[in-house]
Amino acid sequence: MSQLQGPCVRNRVAEPREKVAEAQWTSKLTRQEPESEIKGPRHRFQYIGREVRRVHRLEAEWLLNDPLTNPKSSRDLIHLYLHIPFCRDICPYCAFYKHKPGETDMGYFVDGILREAKLRSSSINAPEIDTVYLGGGTPSMLSPDLIHKLFDGLGDIFRFAPDTEINLEANPATFGKSAAKTFAQSGVTRVSLGAQSFSPEVLKTLGRTHGPRGIARSVDLLRAAGIENVSIDLMFSIPGQTLDQWRESLESALELSPNHISAYNLTYEEDTPFFTRFREGLYTDIEETNASMYELAHELLTSRGLRHYETSNYAYPGYESRHNKGYWRGGDYLGLGPSAVSTISGRRWKNIPDTAEYLVQIGKGGSTESEVETLTPAQLDLERIALMLRTDAGVHRRHLSEVPPTRIEAIVSERLADWKGEHLVLQGQGTMLVDSIVDHLVS
Ligand code: SF4
């Protein structure tokens, strides 16, 4: 698989740790286990009641529109990612490229992003933009004027599809009423709110400066401004977090009626204070706890009608993240800003992960690329297996051509996966063992 990982594998805090042990996975292949409590996609649809037929239709549309299944679909559309690296406070678990604004001239930064957008759009033949994602960092730290300027500039440079999905990541502590209005006026259609937890103690451990009330207020502000589509990001397996605190966070999030919930398993990322504490033995990583919290989220959220459409993501029908689905399917994406990763027609590059140096290079018309690689079809297939197996659409048979059939038969006979048409889809406990299963298929 590619060493240079794009936002396709970029998740807030990292992916759930289905590392629920290689040993556990190996033993599953050799002995008969009782069927998991976790229900597979087909069972989950039972909870959705009258939405069942709609969900099946949406899933059929997904497969039909999958550029890998149907090459005539969205091949000429790309996904746009903008990295806004500024954060008011630095969270001790976060490994993304970010920093406090310091002396950075935000206006100059936005000019730099637009300049890169212009250069890139001419070199990639200005295809139509299907989705936009402003991530970071904390994009909601840009002032309303700069948000306007950014979107106006992008609109002059790119052609947007008529129904472009425009996502913005926001931190509950960083915007108010006028900013929420600006987001809406600028065309933002979906906000991903970094709530992480509704427990004051857990938020304190995470170094977050907002409280539970701030999350509720932010959702109200967004909805009042006209942004209906709100996703709430939550995290579990945080040091000291109990199962009850996790349940309360999930319940509190549901009370705000979000359209989508992301539930990420904390992982200890190198070069973070959390990693240091983990290495020193102050924090522990207990697989049983991870599994219990994952199962709790699955049971609770699917019982409320959300569809578990990707390992860490749940959505009411029709509210899946189109942008992330684009990555998982292998769509082309253009990343702008320091540290942003792009993949266009098999060429992948990463921008300089240094805001000052990035702006210097942009200013003098130099290259912003710090790493470049060309992906082979075999590497792309491995990525598709790793990413699409995380989704309830599964991975198309064509990407499995290099996988020995006996390995696939092993997971199917263990009822960890099954064929849905031409797609291999994980089911039951297989959804928790995705990393081990991917290793088993491709090693
Ligand atoms: S606000 Fe988000 S991007 Fe910034 S440090 Fe915290 S987790 Fe990382």
Spatial distance between the Cα atoms of 370 and 351, rounded to a whole number of angstroms? 5
DSSP, collapsed to helix, strand or coil, labels residue 78 as strand
| Residue 135 beta carbon below 6 angstroms from any ligand 1 atom | no
What is the domain range of residue 66?
Answer: 61-329
Residue 285, φ and ψ in degrees, nearest 5: -125, 105
pLDDT above 90 coverage of the chain, percent: 75
If pLDDT is split at 50, 70 and 90, which confidence band does 63 have? very low
Give the orientation angle of helix 377-388 with respect to helix 434-442, to 10 degrees. 150
Tell me how many domains the chain contains: 1
Q: Please indicate, yes or no, if residue 289 is contained in any of the structural domains.
A: yes
Q: What confidence score (pLDDT) does residue 42 get? A: 24
| Residue 87 beta carbon below 6 angstroms from any ligand 1 atom | yes
- 232 forms bridges with which residues in the sheet? 193, 261
Average pLDDT, the chain: 84
Which residues are within 8 A (CB) of 422 and not within 5 positions of it... i.e. 6 or more apart?
Answer: 69, 396, 397, 398
Q: What is the pTM of this model?
A: 0.84
Q: Please indicate, yes or no, if residue 171 is contained in any of the structural domains.
A: yes
Spatial distance between the Cα atoms of 360 and 367, rounded to a whole number of angstroms? 10
User: Which of 20-29, 232-241, 426-435 shows the lowest mean pLDDT across its residues?
Assistant: 20-29
Q: Please indicate, yes or no, if residue 211 is contained in any of the structural domains.
A: yes
| Residue 302 beta carbon below 6 angstroms from any ligand 1 atom | no
Q: Please indicate, yes or no, if residue 404 is contained in any of the structural domains.
A: no
Q: Please indicate, yes or no, if residue 32 is contained in any of the structural domains.
A: no
Q: Please indicate, yes or no, if residue 400 is contained in any of the structural domains.
A: no
CA distances from 315 to 58, 92, 187, 257, 311 (A): 12, 28, 22, 11, 12
Question: In 71-147, where do the E strands start and end?
Answer: 77-84, 128-136
Q: What is the pLDDT of residues 161-186, one digit of tens each?
A: 889 999 999 999 789 999 999 999 99
Determine the residue type at 311: T
Looking at residue 198, the DSSP 8-state letter turns out to be S
Which residues are within 8 A (CB) of 323 and not within 5 positions of it... i.e. 6 or more apart?
Answer: 79, 81, 131, 132, 133, 165, 167
| Residue 47 beta carbon below 6 angstroms from any ligand 1 atom | no
Q: Please indicate, yes or no, if residue 109 is contained in any of the structural domains.
A: yes
Spatial distance between the Cα atoms of 115 and 359, rounded to a whole number of angstroms? 10
Ligand 1, pocket-test mutation among 12, 83, 86, 96, most atoms within 8 A of CB: 96
Quote the ligand 1 centre to 84 CA distance (angstroms): 11
As given in the structure block, the two tokens for residue 181 are 């209005």
Query: Average pLDDT of 145-157?
Result: 94
Q: What is the pLDDT of residues 94-127, one digit of tens each?
A: 999 999 999 899 999 999 999 999 999 988 876 7
Does the pLDDT value for residue 66 go beyond 80?
no
If pLDDT is split at 50, 70 and 90, which confidence band does 2 have? low
Task: Look up the CATH number of the domain holding residue 200.
Answer: 3.20.20.70
Q: Ligand 1, closest atom to CA 208?
A: 6
DSSP, collapsed to helix, strand or coil, labels residue 85 as coil
Quote the ligand 1 centre to 399 CA distance (angstroms): 35
Q: Please indicate, yes or no, if residue 405 is contained in any of the structural domains.
A: no
User: Which of 114-128, 315-329, 351-365, 398-412 shows the lowest mean pLDDT across its residues?
Assistant: 114-128
Q: What confidence score (pLDDT) does residue 76 get? A: 67
